[in-house]
Amino acid sequence: MGMFDTIHLKEPLICPDCGTKVSSIQTKHFDSCMADFKIGSVLSGSPVLIGIVKETLWCNACYKAGKQPAESPVYLVIWHSLLAGVEQDLAKAEARLAAVDRLDLISWLDEAQREAGRWARSYHKLFSDVSRWHEHLTRPPEPETTGPDAERQRTFRRFFSLPDEILTAADPLAAILAANKQKGDGADD
Ligand SMILES: [Zn+2]
């Protein structure tokens, strides 16, 4: 079985045969290395720098219903190796290609930076939780503090340790994984 790349669409396409929404397209036109693309992505390995590539819309609903999906074209609009649009109508694809401008670039850049920021924050949170769990497992037991500073020191330690709901969970590592599970794309915090 060959590899492919997947294009994810915020605005789903509609199967012309059954009306089902199709929100992703698999394609072998580019590097075919299981990459995920969306509008605004650089299409690594695109043999086309500027132009329109014809792909076929695959409708799973038609396939499951035993219907051989009719040949249903999808046009990938490529502008300087960027995926600028996905259209089911060639005239619309041509219009899209002609209309790409600097505001499109700014909005794609903005989205890419937000997404990079989300991933960086997610990574640092997960790394911090796992590090604190590792410290918790390997740290020698603290001598019980007494004296006037005891409460302050305990508060200080609690501040840097994992929350109690994780430390007291039946499976703390599972609790860390659950707390750090990626929400769907577009979760903008
Ligand atoms: Zn269909």
CA of 111 to the centre of ligand 1 (A): 31
CA of 28 to the centre of ligand 1 (A): 21
Query: What percent of the chain is predicted at pLDDT more than 70?
Result: 95
CA of 32 to the centre of ligand 1 (A): 25
CA of 69 to the centre of ligand 1 (A): 6
- The arrangement of strands across the sheet holding 73-79 comes to 51-56, 73-79, 82-87
Measured between its terminal Cα atoms, the distance across the chain in Å is: 39
The pTM (predicted TM-score) of the whole model is 0.77
CA of 172 to the centre of ligand 1 (A): 45
Identify the three-state secondary structure at position 120: helix
Domain-wise residue ranges, the chain: 5-100, 105-179
CA of 79 to the centre of ligand 1 (A): 29
- At 124-152, the pLDDT tens digits run 999 999 999 998 888 877 777 677 788 88
Query: Which tops the pLDDT comparison, 143 or 28?
Result: 28
- The 3 state secondary structure assigned to 124-185 is HHHHHHHHHHHHHHHCCCCCCCCCCCHHHHHHHHHHHCCCHHHHCCCCHHHHHHHHCCCCCC
Question: Over 70: is that where the pLDDT of 185 sits?
Answer: no
Q: What is the CA radius of gyration of the chain?
A: 25
CA of 64 to the centre of ligand 1 (A): 9
CA of 15 to the centre of ligand 1 (A): 5
